[in-house]
Amino acid sequence: CFGCRSYCLDSRPSRGKLEPRGKSGIFLGYSEESKGYRIWLTNEKKIIITRDVEFIEDCKGSTTKNKGSIFEASYEHKNNIEEFSEPEFKDVQMNLDNENMERVNDESIDELKEQSTIKRGRGRPKVIRTGLRGRPRKLHNVTPVTEEEEPEVNTATLEEVLFSEIPIDQALNGPSSNEWYKAITTEVSSILKNDMGSS
């Protein structure tokens, strides 16, 4: 509500530790230049534009006489407008976090490539303290994998295994020929039944 009392956050870095964090003011309206509220600071007699505002919805204290003095004061101090914004520390911290994530991702990709040709050896791993948050890294004893020790990888996918065709001679002459014969007869009987019902 226009003319309501409000408190805006004082986010200046030069603000002392024991100074109040909020400044008392009166809501004048919305800023046309940026997303924010125009607040008349009564103690400092100037207008600021800020987004960090808490309104006190008590319009009893504001009278038309007070509103008239606000208009006069705001006209006199129109050029004396400061714009407060949040410090840029968050952007710097986000950039540092992104760089750390890229470095960790690169390290994990390198480790995956090395794991395919290296096997863990016996004994306790050595602890590497990096100075970063989290668990310390461990350096394991390694032994190179020889070609004889490499496990054979089956390249057939699940779909190839499930839908691969088996010759009928092999199916009916194999160890599970009774099950194959029952499956074929039920399938043929259901096909004949469906064809008969449709004509």
- Tens digit of pLDDT for each residue in 103-128? 545 555 555 555 556 677 788 888 88
Query: Cα(86)–Cα(12) distance, rounded to whole angstroms?
Result: 9
Domain ranges, ordered by start, for the chain: 5-83, 89-144, 158-198
Measure CA of the first residue to CA of the last residue in the chain; give whole Å.
Answer: 79
H/E element, 139:
strand 137-139
Sign of the torsion formed by the C-alpha atoms of 10, 16, 20 and 21: positive
Confidence of residue 129 (pLDDT cuts 50, 70, 90): confident
How confident is the model at residue 65, as a pLDDT? Answer: 46
* Higher per-residue pLDDT: 171 or 43: 43
How confident is the model at residue 68, as a pLDDT? Answer: 47
